[in-house]
Amino acid sequence: MRRAGVRALGSGALAALFWVAVWQGAALAVGRDFLLASPWQVATRLVELLPTADFWATVWFSLARIALGFCAAAVGGALLAWAAWASRWARALIAPAIAAVRAAPVVSFIILLLLWTDSSRLPAFTSFLMVLPVMYANLGQGLAQRDRSLLEVAWVFDVPLGRRLLAMDIPGVLPYLAAATRAGVGLAWKAGVAAEVIGVAAGSIGERLYAAKLHLASADVFAWTLVVVALSVACERLVLWLIARVPCARPAPTSADSPRPEVAP
C-alpha cells in the first residue's frame, strides 16, 4: 500500500511538472507577459499576495458566501428530496422547478439576482441555485435505493423515527451525499466566482479577477485562479472527511459500485 501511494504521488508530480513545462513553453512562445504569464511570475505573485491581510480578507469574503450557498443547497436538496419521495404530488410540483433551475444558464440567474439583491449576496444565491439540482437528484436517488424490506420491517415494528434515521436512512443516503459533494463543491465555486466577476462584488475574488482583466495582469488572473482551485479542492476534501466521520456512516463504497453524481448541465 505504501509503495502504491509513493508511486501514485511520483506519477502525479511528474504529470504536474510536464504541464508546468508546457505552460512555460507556451509563455516563451507568446512572449508577452500581459497575455500569458510564466509559472515563475504567477508563483512570485502568489508569494506577494499570501502574507497580506487584504488577500485573506478577500478569500474569507468569497469562501463564507459560497460555503453558505453550498450548505443551504444541501439542506434544501435534502428537504425537497424527502418531500418528493414521501408524496407523488410534491414530486410533481418540485420536478418542473428543479428542471428549470438545472437547464437555465447561470448568467440568467446572475442578471436577475442583480436586479433583486445586492451584489455581495450574489455568490451565495448563485451557488445555492447551481448546487440545489445536484443535491436533489442524488439525495432523491439515495432515498429511492434504500432497502425496502428493512423499511417495511421498521414500519411493522413501529421503529421510532430517530432510531430509523440513524440505522437506515442516514447510512443509506450518505454515499449519495458524498457523490453530490464531489460534483457540487466545484460547481458552487465556479458559479459563485462567475457571479462575483459579473456583479463586481466588492472585496471578492471575482472583483480581483475583474480588476486583473482591466489591467491586463495575467499573472494575477492565474494566481487568483489557482487560489480558487485550491479552495475548491480543500472544501471538497473537508466535506467528504466530515461525511466519513458521521457515526452511522457505512464504509465508503468502492469505485466500481459508488453512486455517480448527477451533474447539472
207 closest CA partner among 111, 114, 109, 123: 123
Position 245 scores a pLDDT of: 84
The lowest-confidence range among 94-103, 118-127, 146-155, 180-189 is 146-155
Position 79 scores a pLDDT of: 93
CATH number for the segment(s) 38-244: 1.10.3720.10
Question: What's the one-letter identity of residue 190?
Answer: K
Q: Structural domain boundaries of the chain?
A: 1-29, 38-244
Indicate the pTM of the whole model.
0.83
Position 251 scores a pLDDT of: 47
- Please report which residue ranges of 2-52 form alpha helices under DSSP H: 2-30, 39-49
Position 209 scores a pLDDT of: 94
CA–CA distance, 42 with 226 (Å, rounded to integer): 9
More confident site: 23 or 133: 133
* pLDDT tens-place string over residues 46-70: 999 999 999 999 999 999 999 999 9
Position 257 scores a pLDDT of: 46
Position 27 scores a pLDDT of: 87
Position 259 scores a pLDDT of: 58
Q: Is 124 left (phi over 0), alpha (psi -120 to 50) or beta?
A: alpha
pLDDT-above-90 percentage for the chain: 48
Position 136 scores a pLDDT of: 94
What is the pLDDT averaged over residues 72-82? 93
Q: At what angle do helices 170-199 and 122-144 cross, to 10 degrees?
A: 160
The lowest-confidence range among 1-5, 8-12, 95-99 is 1-5
Question: What's the one-letter identity of residue 161?
Answer: L
Strand, coil or helix: 102: helix
* pLDDT tens-place string over residues 203-259: 999 999 999 999 888 999 999 999 999 999 999 999 999 988 877 655 444 444 445
Radius of gyration of the chain (CA): 22
What is the pLDDT averaged over residues 130-152? 81
Grid cell 440545489 in the structure block, residue: 132
Strand, coil or helix: 159: coil
Q: Is the C-alpha dihedral spanning 114, 116, 122, 125 positive or negative?
A: negative
More confident site: 100 or 8: 100
The pLDDT-based confidence of 120 (bands split at 50, 70, 90) is confident
192 closest CA partner among 95, 43, 73, 57: 73
Beta strands in 56-158 (DSSP E): none
Please, what is the average pLDDT of the chain? 84
Position 234 scores a pLDDT of: 96
